[in-house]
Amino acid sequence: MADLNLTDFFLGSVTVGERGQVVIPAQAREKMNIKPGDKLLAILHPTHGGVFFARIEQFRELTEQMINLVETYAKEATDAGEDQGSSATTRDGGV
């Protein structure tokens, strides 16, 4: 993986208006190809440290990838537990 430059992730600051509106910086709109009328999800950081915006489709894809990873690791953990369980039964004299 190429080295990440964290400054590439900072795209400016915003000011919250009276009605709670913010303007997404032009650089962010350009990088994300955000156009007027696009629908974005506003997601609260789990520690309430901020809010981030994501395109609905990209967030859906990310969620699906996360679900697949969880299912893969859960299956591996279950399979490993069954392997340990069967060897423990054998050590106890078998059933």
Q: Can you give the pLDDT of all 95 residues of the chain as single tens digits?
A: 567 788 888 888 999 999 999 999 999 999 889 999 999 999 998 898 888 898 898 889 999 999 999 999 999 998 887 776 655 444 455 54
pLDDT for 88 equals: 47
Q: Which domains does the chain have, with CATH numbers?
A: 6-91 (2.10.260.10)
pLDDT for 72 equals: 93
pLDDT for 7 equals: 85
pLDDT for 89 equals: 47
Q: What is the 3-state secondary structure (H, E, C) of the chain?
A: CCCCCHHHHCCCCCCCCCCCCCCCCHHHHHHHCCCCCCCEEEEECCCCCCEEEEEHHHHHHHHHHHHHHHHHHHHHHHHHHHHHHHHHHHHCCCC
